[in-house]
Structure 1
């Protein structure tokens, strides 16, 4: 596998991880016990930390990409393992 392919796969996992981790660790003003600004949405976060989110997404994407590349090298899970219905190979 070429390094550019690994980089592209990492980028895809990074974006997916960022969206997956987005709702975790977010508190609203009601949960924090703070007063809301008039016109503010009830679901608006108290303190959004994009740097922390990107750091967590980068770490998760690195782990998942490493597992993906290792599976590519060693072939732990193949296409035939993912078939859950259809004709039996026996």
Structure 2
């Protein structure tokens, strides 16, 4: 089991309309960072769910009919292994 709770960074680029999030970021944190810019993530109904696990696990939220799965909107992933290899 890998606990990613400490990797909870969230950065929103309102011009590009994108967010860069850490593996432990919750949808609540992503929503809070996006809202001041008039943006909303393709999240589910619970703010305590991990954004990355929801996205990679095929989560289906209320905006999915209009915008597709959250996974459909991923532009890039950075994988870092336990030994720090990227």
- Shorter chain as normaliser: what TM range? under 0.3
Structure that is richer in strand per residue: 2
Structure that is richer in helix per residue: 1
Q: Which has the larger radius of gyration?
A: 1
Bigger relative contact order, structure 1 or 2, given CA contacts below 8 A and separation 6+?
1
